[in-house]
Amino acid sequence: MEAAAGWRCRPGGRLDMSHGFVRHIRRNQIARDAYERAVRQARGRARGRLPPATPRPRRPDQQVYRPRRPGGPGGDASPSPPPADTRGPRLFCLEYEGDDGRVTAVIVHQGDSAEEVTRRVCARSPLEPALRRALCQRVQDELSKRRGTG
């Protein structure tokens, strides 16, 4: 078989590499490999520079039941306040501000009398007899309003 006209063949059936096309391909492959290696190294260095991430909880905190310890607040060893059920449910909180600016707060229960509440207020901040009578009358009005008898 004879080679077609215009084709250059070398002895042994090899391709003619004198045109330099393969040289350009090899140069591009080498350049690409060097670039990819540099990018991989830069990524590795960038990862090493970041501070380690703090572990965050994946779920919000759930309320956990913690039983009271003996001797602590509300425990068996601590004295408990006297039960308020003996005087009935709470009706309102009476706050009295004296001339000195001090506020006296007294919780009024359903079983309380106006005189008893006035006595408790006067024990904390003394009142003149006229003011004491006016306070007693006002407490009586509030009690009757809330008890439904007035």
Tokens of 24: 């350009």
Q: Give residue 65's pLDDT.
A: 76
Kindly report, residue by residue over 95-112, the tens digit of the pLDDT. 888 888 888 888 888 888
pLDDT of residue 29: 95
Percent of the chain with pLDDT over 70: 66
Q: Quick one: pLDDT at residue 68?
A: 80
3-state secondary structure the chain: CCCCCCCCCCCCCCCCCCCCHHHHHHHHHHHHHHHHHHHHHHHHHHHHHCCCCCCCCCCCCCCCCCCCCCCCCCCCCCCCCCCHHHHCCEEEEEEEECCCCCEEEEEEECCCCHHHHHHHHHHHCCCCHHHHHHHHHHHHHHHHHHHCCC
CA nearest to 104, candidates 90, 89, 115, 119 = 119
Task: Please provide the size of the chain in residues.
Answer: 150
Residue 57 has a pLDDT of: 61
pLDDT tens-digit readout, 41-87 = 988 876 655 566 666 666 666 677 778 877 665 555 455 555 545 77
- pTM for this model (two decimals): 0.42
